[in-house]
Amino acid sequence: MEQTNPDLNMRLKAFKEQGYTIFKNVYDQDTMASWIRKHKQLQEDSLVKQQWWFANTCELAPKLMLPAVNNPLILDFAEMVMGPYVQLDNLTLAGFPSISKQEAENKVSGWHRDRWAHVPLGEDYTHPLSINAISYLQDLTDEYGPLRIIPGSHRKEIVLKDEERGIPHQDEVVVHMSAGDVVVTHNGLLHSGTPNTSGNIRYFFSVYYNRTWLKHTDNHNGPNVQEIIRKARANNDHRLLRLFGVDDHLQARANSGFLQADEVRWAEWAAADKAAIVKK
């Protein structure tokens, strides 16, 4: 059974080659404004002075955050990339304060690959163990700090010395994303932010997914997430259950014999999961 969405198929091809794809205009201004208000509230409520980085935000604000975690377009693509094994590793809402242009001159925020990655051993494409679906809540102008990517670095044995991790790279692409866009990155892709010199806060929203047999960083045991799990169970919604660490199909699918192409089998399983949902 082949995937039928031509746009997602083209994105998958580009993702395999480049290590990322950008979905335009996924979130509207009202949604992003609500996330910014939540960040300000979390700062006000925090016992830690000047805290900028907040995790476990689906537990902290489930009605506000669940639509982003469970975004059907992003999850359809995630299941094409990783199979129907997609789990929420962490949901992060962060702000980066501004610094002076002198401090930021010829600097990047820090080159890195993401959690569960490894340095590629060759040029063959390998399915990621995790992906990041990142949104920025303002346009990434030069002042706010664009995203920097080294295309194809998820398939190249690129390593950097300590002194090279904070400066621009000769093979980088500078990406001026718009507010509300979502960039999905392979965990092996080398990327970096750019220091913020706008005079305002640079807001960052990350939905990080991994495979369901890995540990997750966020705590899914809180009462709000447990209520999401309860409702998903009542609806027989396996995709939503998996997002929060409950994968009823894991043992069978992780020991399926692997005699079909991964993406063909994944599409069959994903379609079966959607068909099994109880409509209420």
CATH number, residue 65: 2.60.120.620
* 280 found inside a domain: no
| pLDDT tens-digit series, residues 97-135 | 999 999 999 999 999 999 999 999 989 999 999 999 999
* 14 found inside a domain: yes
Mean pLDDT taken over the chain: 95
Q: What are phi and psi of 88, to 5 degrees?
A: -75, 110
Q: Which domain holds residue 27?
A: 6-275
* Region of residue 19 (left: phi > 0; alpha: psi -120 to 50; beta: else): left
C-alpha to C-alpha distance for 60 and 47, rounded to whole angstroms: 15
| pLDDT tens-digit series, residues 159-188 | 999 999 999 999 999 999 999 999 999 999
| Domain tally, the chain | 1
| pLDDT tens-digit series, residues 62-85 | 999 999 999 999 999 999 999 999
* 160 found inside a domain: yes
| pLDDT tens-digit series, residues 34-47 | 999 999 999 999 87
Q: What is the model's pTM?
A: 0.94
Let me know if 221 is exposed, middle or buried by CB neighbors in 10 A (0-12, 13-18, 19+): exposed
Let me know if 195 is exposed, middle or buried by CB neighbors in 10 A (0-12, 13-18, 19+): buried
